[in-house]
Structure 1
Amino acid sequence: MNDERYAVSLPGLKLKNPFMPSSGAFYYGLDHMDDFDLNKLGALVLKTTTLAPRTGNPQPWIVNTKAGILNSVGLANPGIAAVKADFLPELAAKLPDLPKMLSISGATVDEFVQLAKIIDKLPAINAIELNLSCPNVDEGGCAFGVTESGIHSVVSAVRAVTTKAIYAKLSPNVTDIKPLAVTAENAGADGLTMVNTLVGMSLDLQSRSARLYRGKGGLSGEALHPLAVELIWEAASAVHIPIIGVGGVSSIDDALELMMAGASAVQVGVMNSIDKLCLPKLIDALPAALDKYHFDKVSDVTNALRALPENEHDWQTIKKEQS
């Protein structure tokens, strides 16, 4: 799919279509090359990587709930040195034209900075996604992404050491997303990724214990979708930088809904574990969906949500148009 009708141009990322896996969904990409031609994707997002290797939390890492899945992987990854040596050369050789974004996380601002300095010198990586949900050890364990000061400290520090495009991945576990989105923009982010997982728990009645090692985990899946739509809509009204939407996408309509709310591109996570061909199916479904909803090109979907009704008369008019 190389038609300009489906292309999306974002800072650091020229996408042939708006679809990409979310961080962690495809690990570092190489394990999924036999599933389908990854060049079909708009971009490849690589797993969240830390400065040093991490073994992650004790198993199980994932438990199923009726609302979605809870994960407590604990950012297990081989560390940036191994990613640089063992994954990126092969990715660059086999997928030279596919845009790539690497997600990073750290427990301190300095760890983010050290990672960004390394990545700045890696031509195989086009953009950096900042996973801001890691606890900030310098501030008592509160996640960077839930305070304006935490977001500003990471984004501004990374901005100072790299020329690559920066996407701040925001948390839904907040009261008001707007000031956090604005803070990320003002600190130098080129775009936002929205949203990360919700915090949730699942309990075992028989053993009277939590089903995950740390009790809490990140909830993702279809239950996250309506929340992602609302938060993207809120943030899009407050910032002037593009948003990559993520959260509970299981159909082409779900993806377009995130875009109508304000996203310019879409990441897909959980559905890849249910159907390994989920992303190519979404890409193939895009032309017919644009025709069905009367969009000339995919970029027209972004921010296409009409103003919310101001009164009952406006609401009744909208309902008549829908019927």
Structure 2
Amino acid sequence: MTAVTTGPRPVGDPPAGEDARARFFAAAPAPEGGAAPDLRVRLGSLTLRNPVMPASGCFGPELAPLVPTSEIGATVTKTVFARRRGGNPTHRLTETPMGMINSVGIPSLGTDGFVREMLPRYRAMAAPVIVSVGGLAVGEYLTVMDELAGARFDGVEVNVSCPNLEHGGLDIGTDPDAVARVVSGVVARTDVPVLVKLTPMVSSIAEVARAAEEAGATALTVANSFPGMTLDPRTRRPVLGNRVGGVSGPAVKPLALRLTWATAEAVGVPVIGCGGISTVDDALDFLAVGATAVQVGTAHFARPFVMAEIARGLAARCAAADATRLTDYVRTLGET
């Protein structure tokens, strides 16, 4: 498969080779005239060195040797389910114009396997660890949290975009009452910040966002991928083994940006923008409409260094604007 198209490659990407990688990983110089801008953001009790983190499932410990994880705000794990899952049948991923569509099906080692095998590898990276938790029923989220008791991590992201097998397979995230029950149950089982990753497939994301906030969510991630389908032009049959999948990449950015704005207008907790972010300009767009932080997903497939690029770009933009704090950029929609 060819590289996924995720937008223009910034000038200055590191060429291949160990020497080039070492130069790229070297600490960026402080802006002329003083200390580097303050990029820190807060998600409840958790302070991130900068607002850039991966979307769940798009970055793992296997990339840590290649990427300067000391320059990102946090890591987010693949979604953890209570029991081991194998995921969907192949093919699981293919390109689309300006992005890709995937139907991975979220394979999982189960809570026990995650704690034993994967969590130590995430903790070895130089960034806070946010554990994504999922469930096919409201009670499964709570089981996962009970089984994570005693494990060390820095935050939880509740993936409410999972199908609810108790109610006909609709996403739990489409039902404000179900979202409230999941979130309140998770909050009661942990003392770390609880992020809630919302589905875009709702008539009013503001209604679901408020339900999550009232149930105790620390922050909201907006949003998961958009459902779609792609066909093989020769056979006119679905390319994906599961027929349908989640569309992501630059093509969905305008949709995700609107949802982020609508959510930030509706709630008082921090909002994390997610969808089509591949450049510093993309990140600044989400900050402008009210996001506190951003998640990067599909862009990793073509540019594994992308999170560090964006973090460095944010520092450079602040310095160029004589802004001492990144938070000066938040909610600047319409300002000149």
TM score, norm. by length of structure 1: 0.89
Equivalent position SS for 1:168: strand
Aligned to 1:108: 137
Residue by residue, what CA displacement relative to the aligned partner does 1:161-202 show, whole Å, maximum 9, x if unpaired? 222211110111122111111011011111101110001110
Residue of structure 2 aligned with 1:5, choices 20, 34, 38: 38
Residue of structure 2 aligned with 1:15, choices 34, 38, 48: 48
Equivalent position SS for 1:204: coil
| Pairing 1:178–2:206 present | yes
Residue of structure 2 aligned with 1:137, choices 165, 176, 185: 165
Residue of structure 2 aligned with 1:230, choices 243, 248, 258: 258
Aligned to 1:207: 235
Q: Is the 8 A contact 2:197 2:224 kept in 1?
A: yes
Gaps of 5+ in 2: 1-26, 28-34
Aligned to 1:98: 127
Alignment of 1:30-41 (within 5 A): 31-41=62-72
Deviation at 1:138, TM superposition (A): 0.9
Q: Is the 8 A contact 2:37 2:318 kept in 1?
A: no
Deviation at 1:206, TM superposition (A): 2.1
After alignment, is 291-300 or 237-246 more displaced?
291-300
Q: Is the 8 A contact 1:12 1:126 kept in 2?
A: no
Distance (whole Å) between structure 2 residues aligned to residue 275 and residue 12 of structure 1 = 31
Residue by residue, what CA displacement relative to the aligned partner does 1:292-311 show, whole Å, maximum 9, x if unpaired? 456441112222214xxxxx
Distance (whole Å) between structure 2 residues aligned to residue 21 and residue 186 of structure 1 = 26
Deviation at 1:3, TM superposition (A): 4.8
Deviation at 1:243, TM superposition (A): 0.8
The amino acid across from 2:111 in the alignment is I
Aligned to 1:86: 117
RMSD: 1.8
Aligned to 2:225: 197
Q: Which has the higher contact order (CA 8 A, sep 6+)?
A: 2
The amino acid across from 1:11 in the alignment is G
Q: Is the 8 A contact 2:145 2:186 kept in 1?
A: yes
Equivalent position SS for 1:203: coil
The amino acid across from 2:185 in the alignment is A
Distance (whole Å) between structure 1 residues aligned to residue 184 and residue 330 of structure 2 = 27
Aligned to 1:250: 278
The amino acid across from 1:274 in the alignment is A
Deviation at 1:4, TM superposition (A): 6.0
Distance (whole Å) between structure 1 residues aligned to residue 318 and residue 134 of structure 2 = 36
Deviation at 1:10, TM superposition (A): 1.4
Aligned to 1:218: 246
Work out the number of aligned pairs and report it.
303
Gaps of 5+ in 1: 307-317
Identity rate, percent: 34
Equivalent position SS for 1:185: helix
Distance (whole Å) between structure 2 residues aligned to residue 191 and residue 119 of structure 1 = 20
